Amino acid sequence: MTPASQVPEVLIRRANRDDCAAILGIYNHAVLHTTASYDYEPRTLAQRLEWFDAHQRDDLAIFVAQAPGGEVVGWSALNKYHDRVGFRFTAENSIYVAESWRGRGLGSLLLEPLIRAAEARGLHAIIAAIDAENATSVRLHTRFGFEKVGHFREVGFKFDRWLDVVYMQRLIHR
């Protein structure tokens, strides 16, 4: 893997509503071709815009990786962990990278600002739910101080097979 510092001229910035189509394209590709998401059906732009607006209302950060030509090639987000008020200091993260940009260190560039945003918002914990076969994502989260806290066997089903989920956690304020 190329170190994140060697990713040429990629800009990491807060997402805006105009980025939703690109975010949607990256996500929908993952839905159709990977187990990074256990969704089966692609989302619509209307759903992604609603998601974006909810994140804005709830002060949950979304970042994009923008290539030199302006193309959004990855994104990350803090998401509500649960709706119950007792979980308000915990978020779940998402990181998705366009297929042609995987393996270049964008995951690191997109995870770091999420952690800073969680700190600034006063969150206590970030949870990552990762397909157990996604060793790249497990390594990424480990490098950023996440610890494996659970392994659920055969809780997901996609592409005609049962899938395990690993839960990782990083405490922000100890």
Q: What residue spans define the domains of the chain?
A: 4-171
The model's pTM is 0.93
- Give the count of beta carbons closer than 10 Å to the beta carbon of residue 39: 13
pLDDT tens-digit profile, the chain (174 residues): 344 445 668 999 999 999 999 999 999 999 999 999 999 999 999 999 999 999 999 999 999 999 999 999 999 999 999 999 999 999 999 999 999 999 999 999 999 999 999 999 999 999 999 999 999 999 999 999 999 999 999 999 999 999 999 999 999 976
* Residues 4-171, CATH architecture: 3-Layer(aba) Sandwich (3.40)
Q: How far is CA 31 from CA 41, 60, 101, in A?
A: 7, 22, 17
d(CA 61, CA 117): 6
